[in-house]
Amino acid sequence: LRADHFIHLRCEVSAPDCLKAFANFETDERVKLASLMDHAPGQRQFVNLETYAYYYQRKLKLSDRDFRKFCEKRMAESAMNSGPNRVFLSAAC
């Protein structure tokens, strides 16, 4: 009996360091699947901002002010990084 173990990469395309992290696994033959995700407010999993607030504000224990700053940062990162990172990773995989 034999088992093969493979890697499923979960790539947060909105993250500034996404491609740097991907480079650590780019030539690893065990990588068989890569999921391209954007967890920024208003994207994919959290299209509804109320749902995003309910989940993240509680999880991170943020005040309303800090949560707004968090959202602004995440949306800016998404706007800057998601497109180019998604294109690169799609071509690389």
- Closest to 41 in 3D by CA, of 50, 32, 33: 50
What pLDDT, in 10s, does the model give residues 23-67? Answer: 999 999 999 999 999 988 877 777 778 888 888 899 999 999 999
Q: Report the Cα–Cα distance between both ends of the chain, in Å, rounded.
A: 30
What pLDDT, in 10s, does the model give residues 3-18? Answer: 889 999 999 999 999 9
Domain boundaries, the chain: 7-81
What pLDDT, in 10s, does the model give residues 61-84? Answer: 999 999 999 999 999 999 999 999
Where does residue 12 rank: exposed (0-12), middle (13-18), buried (19+ CB within 10 A)?
buried
SS3 sequence of 73-89:
HHHHHHHHHHHHHHHHH
